[in-house]
Amino acid sequence: MSLDLVSEARRQVEICNACRYCEGYCAVFPAITRQRIFAEGDLTQLANLCHNCRGCFYACQYTEPHEFALNLPKALAELRHKSWKDHAWPRGFAHLFDKSGMAITAFLVVSISLLFWIAQSLRPDSGEGFYAYMSHGLMVAIFAPAFLLPLGALGLSLKGYWRSVGGGWLTFAALSDAMHAAAGMRNLAGGHGKGCNFEEEDRPSNARRWAHQATLFGFMLCFASTSAGTVLHYGFGLEAPYGFWSLPKLLGVPGGVLLCIGTAWLAYLKTQADPRLGAPNVWGGEMAFVLLLGAVSATGLALYAASGSGAVAWLLPIHLGTVLAFFLLTPYSKMAHGFYRMAALLADATKRGA
């Protein structure tokens, strides 16, 4: 099966290399033209460089019913999924990718229940805001490893990825090029800037690009908010709860709102797009991931809105439970795409000599 995904992607990429009409859409096609022979690592790199914008599919003169039966977005989506499994660390967790929907549900149930139990049984004697329900020390004890261990696992996966695709020496220019590509979602712009062909078939639209950037920047703001809180706590002895005009809230509230909008929008767009141009088997898992990320932001905002009320008692474990499930599953769910995508953009920049 795995070998088939590779040979099918190779068959299609070789046809693309003889045609080259799609060169202007994204980074994948110029990368194809730099080669004639495609090893598995080369195809893995193309797969992770592909943002599934689908411009090439609708422009292709060789899609079914033509006997060449090209569907490059699907071939690369399936290979991309396979490559994440192949590089997963520890190996034993690779299968979680195939059951993302179930894994997310199971992790959510377990982690929310665990945090409910903690909030009930280990409730501190004193503390303000949510520290009244769970001590700072306990939160750090749970979330520091839950954040750092998955990141470490991802780091090992990416190292394997970099080796298999033959990424070159990292330069500042390559880093800058890749960051620009990600920040502007250059590869979802369609080459003409009108966007990708996702929710309205061959009609390009920037909806997915904007929804994705709302999600990405919303996530970054939330992350910055948490980091700001950590700095305030340890650096300045300023402990939560923070007021609205504090740095954590000024970053976190807009971040949470953006993340809510972005994920809801992405989920809606996903229901409108043709699943046959992606990896159909993992559609459910991808959707579950988007909804999980949405739940992280929505429960976070709800928790803030409920500050001071009794609802914190049950909103806190729910929010922290979603965050915990999200952290733990990062290396084995759709969240991994962000890391692999960044690695692919970097590898591409080094190969172009940027």
Partner 1 sequence: MVASFSQEVKPMRSDPDILVVGGGNAALCAAITAREAGMRVLLLEGAPEPYRGGNSRHTRNFRCMHSGPQGVLTGAYGEDEYFDDLIKVTGGKTDEALARMTIRASQECYGWMEAHGVDFQPSLSGTLSLSRTNAFFLGGGKALVNAYYRMARDLGVEIAYEAEVAHLDHDGQRISAVEAVIGGETVRLTPQAVVVASGGFQADLDWLAEAWGPAARNFLIRGTPYNRGKVLKDLLDQGIESVGDPTQCHAVAIDGRAPKFDGGIVTRLDCVPFSVVVNNRGERFYDEGEDVWPKRYAIWGRLVAAQPDQVAYAVIDARSLELFMPSVFPPVQADTIEGLSQRLGLPGAAFKATVERFNAACREGDFHPTELDGLATEGLDPPKTNWARPIAEPPFYGYELRPGVTFTYLGLKVDSSAQVQGAEGPVENLWAAGEIMAGSILGQGYLAGFGMTIGTVFGRKAGEGAAAHVA
Residues that bind partner 1 (CB under 8 A): 14-15, 17-25, 30, 33, 36, 55-56, 58-68, 191-192, 194, 202-203
Query: Is the bond preceding residue 65 a cis peptide, omega within 30 degrees?
Result: yes
Q: How far is the CB of 77 from partner 1 (least distance, A)?
A: 19
Q: Closer to partner 1 at the Cβ: 64 or 311?
A: 64
The count of other CB atoms within 10 Å of the CB of residue 82 is: 21
Closer to partner 1 by CB, 29 or 326: give it.
29
User: From the CB of 65, what's the least distance to partner 1, in Å?
Assistant: 6
- Closest approach, Cβ 64 to partner 1, in A, equals 8
Closest contact distance (angstroms) between CB of 232 and partner 1 is 49
From the CB of 180, what's the least distance to partner 1, in Å?
A: 19
277 versus 343: smaller Cβ distance to partner 1:
277
351 touches 168 (CB < 8 A): yes
Q: Which is nearer to partner 1, 61 or 126 (CB)?
A: 61
Closest CA to 104 of 342, 313, 335, 338: 335
Nearer to partner 1, 56 or 103 (CB): 56
Handedness of CA 195, 352, 178, 77 (dihedral sign): positive
Is residue 351 a contact partner of residue 343, using CB atoms and an 8 Å limit?
no
Which residues are CB-neighbours of 35 under 8 A, at least 6 positions away? 17, 42
Q: Residue 37 and residue 43: Cα distance in Å, rounded?
A: 10
Instruction: Name the minimum Å distance from CB 34 to partner 1.
Output: 9
DSSP track, 15-54: HHHHH-TTTTT-SHHHHHHT-SS--HHHHHHHHHH-----
In the complex, minimum distance from the CB of residue 79 to partner 1, in angstroms, rounded to a whole number? 20
Nearer to partner 1, 30 or 241 (CB): 30
Ramachandran region of residue 344, left (φ > 0), alpha (ψ -120 to 50) or beta?
A: alpha
* Position 82, amino acid: K
Nearer to partner 1 by Cβ, of 191 and 284: the residue is 191
Angle between helices 40-49 and 336-352 (to 10 degrees): 110
